[in-house]
Amino acid sequence: MKDFVLTFVFMLFLAVGFAQTAPKQYAQKSPVKIQIYPNPATSFFRIEGADNQVAVIYLYNLIGKRLKTFDPHKEHDFPVNDLHNGLYLVQTVDSNGKVIATNRLTKR
Protein backbone atom coordinates (compact mmCIF):
# COMPACT_ATOMS: atom_id res chain seq x y z
CA MET A 1 0.00 0.00 0.00
CA LYS A 2 2.85 2.37 0.87
CA ASP A 3 4.49 1.74 -2.52
CA PHE A 4 1.20 2.40 -4.28
CA VAL A 5 0.73 5.77 -2.52
CA LEU A 6 4.32 6.83 -3.21
CA THR A 7 4.01 5.85 -6.87
CA PHE A 8 0.69 7.69 -7.15
CA VAL A 9 2.12 10.88 -5.58
CA PHE A 10 5.21 10.68 -7.82
CA MET A 11 3.07 10.29 -10.95
CA LEU A 12 0.84 13.18 -9.83
CA PHE A 13 3.83 15.52 -9.37
CA LEU A 14 5.25 14.37 -12.69
CA ALA A 15 1.96 15.10 -14.49
CA VAL A 16 1.64 18.53 -12.88
CA GLY A 17 5.23 19.37 -13.83
CA PHE A 18 4.67 18.51 -17.49
CA ALA A 19 1.35 20.35 -17.54
CA GLN A 20 3.03 23.59 -16.43
CA THR A 21 5.86 23.43 -18.94
CA ALA A 22 5.05 25.63 -21.93
CA PRO A 23 5.78 24.28 -25.40
CA LYS A 24 8.81 25.87 -27.01
CA GLN A 25 6.69 27.80 -29.54
CA TYR A 26 4.80 29.50 -26.69
CA ALA A 27 7.77 30.05 -24.42
CA GLN A 28 8.58 33.65 -23.64
CA LYS A 29 11.29 35.25 -25.72
CA SER A 30 14.39 36.56 -24.06
CA PRO A 31 14.16 40.30 -23.48
CA VAL A 32 15.68 42.62 -26.05
CA LYS A 33 18.52 44.71 -24.66
CA ILE A 34 18.06 48.29 -25.73
CA GLN A 35 20.66 50.88 -24.83
CA ILE A 36 20.13 54.61 -24.74
CA TYR A 37 23.13 56.86 -25.24
CA PRO A 38 24.41 59.36 -24.40
CA ASN A 39 22.93 59.06 -20.95
CA PRO A 40 22.80 61.62 -19.44
CA ALA A 41 21.71 63.48 -22.57
CA THR A 42 22.00 67.20 -23.18
CA SER A 43 20.42 67.81 -26.57
CA PHE A 44 19.60 64.38 -28.08
CA PHE A 45 19.71 60.63 -27.46
CA ARG A 46 20.04 57.55 -29.65
CA ILE A 47 18.84 53.99 -29.30
CA GLU A 48 20.90 50.89 -30.00
CA GLY A 49 20.05 47.20 -29.97
CA ALA A 50 16.55 47.26 -31.42
CA ASP A 51 17.47 45.86 -34.86
CA ASN A 52 14.46 47.34 -36.70
CA GLN A 53 11.97 45.95 -34.16
CA VAL A 54 11.03 49.37 -32.82
CA ALA A 55 8.06 51.01 -34.54
CA VAL A 56 7.63 54.00 -32.24
CA ILE A 57 9.43 55.60 -29.30
CA TYR A 58 7.59 57.41 -26.54
CA LEU A 59 9.12 59.78 -24.00
CA TYR A 60 7.32 60.13 -20.65
CA ASN A 61 7.92 62.19 -17.54
CA LEU A 62 7.90 60.41 -14.19
CA ILE A 63 4.23 61.19 -13.65
CA GLY A 64 3.40 59.18 -16.76
CA LYS A 65 2.51 62.02 -19.11
CA ARG A 66 3.61 61.38 -22.67
CA LEU A 67 5.75 64.31 -23.74
CA LYS A 68 7.13 63.24 -27.13
CA THR A 69 6.65 60.62 -29.81
CA PHE A 70 9.48 59.68 -32.16
CA ASP A 71 9.53 57.66 -35.37
CA PRO A 72 12.80 55.66 -35.42
CA HIS A 73 12.48 55.08 -39.16
CA LYS A 74 12.64 58.82 -39.91
CA GLU A 75 15.29 59.98 -37.45
CA HIS A 76 18.25 58.58 -35.55
CA ASP A 77 18.91 61.45 -33.15
CA PHE A 78 15.94 62.08 -30.88
CA PRO A 79 16.00 65.71 -29.67
CA VAL A 80 15.46 66.52 -25.99
CA ASN A 81 17.03 69.99 -25.84
CA ASP A 82 13.63 71.59 -25.16
CA LEU A 83 13.04 69.51 -22.00
CA HIS A 84 13.89 70.55 -18.46
CA ASN A 85 16.72 68.80 -16.66
CA GLY A 86 15.53 65.66 -14.91
CA LEU A 87 14.65 62.01 -15.25
CA TYR A 88 12.47 60.67 -18.08
CA LEU A 89 11.27 57.28 -19.31
CA VAL A 90 11.88 56.14 -22.89
CA GLN A 91 9.51 53.42 -24.04
CA THR A 92 10.15 51.45 -27.22
CA VAL A 93 7.13 49.78 -28.84
CA ASP A 94 6.98 47.29 -31.72
CA SER A 95 4.57 47.32 -34.67
CA ASN A 96 2.02 45.19 -32.74
CA GLY A 97 1.83 47.78 -29.96
CA LYS A 98 3.79 45.61 -27.53
CA VAL A 99 6.28 47.36 -25.28
CA ILE A 100 9.79 46.10 -26.03
CA ALA A 101 11.55 47.95 -23.22
CA THR A 102 11.30 50.95 -20.94
CA ASN A 103 14.55 52.72 -20.10
CA ARG A 104 15.46 55.68 -17.93
CA LEU A 105 16.97 58.77 -19.50
CA THR A 106 18.58 61.60 -17.57
CA LYS A 107 18.43 65.03 -19.20
CA ARG A 108 21.11 67.56 -18.17
**CA dist., res. 78 & res. 83, Å (int):** 12
pLDDT of residue 27: 47
Residue-range domains of the chain with CATH: 27-107 (2.60.40.10)
Q: Which residues pair with 47 in a beta bridge?
A: 36
* pLDDT over 70 (residue 9): no
**Which pLDDT does position 51 carry in this prediction?**
72
Q: 26-85, pLDDT tens digit by residue?
A: 445 556 789 999 999 999 999 998 778 899 999 999 999 999 999 999 989 999 999 999
> How many other CB atoms are there within 10 angstroms of residue 61's CB atom?
14
**Closest Cα to residue 56, out of 89, 99, 105?**
99
User: In whole angstroms, what is the distance from residue 62 CA to residue 68 CA?
Assistant: 13
The strand pairing partners of 99, in sequence order, are: 93
pLDDT for 23 beyond 70: no
